[in-house]
Structure 1
Amino acid sequence: MMDDVVAHPAGRQLWGGNNGCLFKMVPIGTVIDTLVAGIEKRARFIVCPKAHTLVAKAPGLFRPIFDRAFGGPNVVRAIELAAPAGWSNQLALDRHAPTGPVNRPQAGNCTL
């Protein structure tokens, strides 16, 4: 599932090579086995890997950690890297700009 993320420069910018602890990638076979087992047991909550259950059940407590790991200039740079592929979102750029709105010239609107 992460192949497309790490295949594109924008995805690599956001992912940043996080490989350990909460950000460790889990093989798709493990995810499927966990889902099947959870469905068979009629589990109300399925988490893979199980060690992440606390994080999954209490996202509000861990949100600042995720925001710090994936926020700030990483988001702006990822948006810039995605622009050549046809994705550009001024609202997203403005939301993640450190000092307010980011004014980016649009194609054909550049003045010298």
Structure 2
Amino acid sequence: MPTADELYKEGVALKDEKKYEEAVAKLQEAYALNEKDTLPLHAQVQALTELGRHEESIAMAKKIVDLEPDDQFSYIALSRAYVRAEMIPEAEYAMMQGQQAQMRAQAQKTS
């Protein structure tokens, strides 16, 4: 049985080959095996966006933000999903939230 990491790598390879449906399925399997690792979710956001499944992509990006609220890259994923869905005010707000997350993270390092 493949590991979560192996499934993730297969999913990313499929995504890079523009086999987005297959990539989403493989990345879902990877995440199911290790729900602490959000990398499969990030890759799914990209694949879903390429498929034009913007609502699903945004929902997945929001899940990443919920799982990692202090990670600026979570908000970047959300902002990019909004941009691709042509939801620019939402994208700008997500980017602002990402900047705030970065400031919080820096403040925690210095305290």
TM > 0.5: no
Which has more radius of gyration?
Answer: 1
Using CA pairs under 8 Å that are at least 6 residues apart, name the structure with larger relative contact order, 1 or 2: 1
Higher helix share: 2
Q: Could you state the TM-score of these two structures normalised by the residue count of structure 1?
A: 0.35
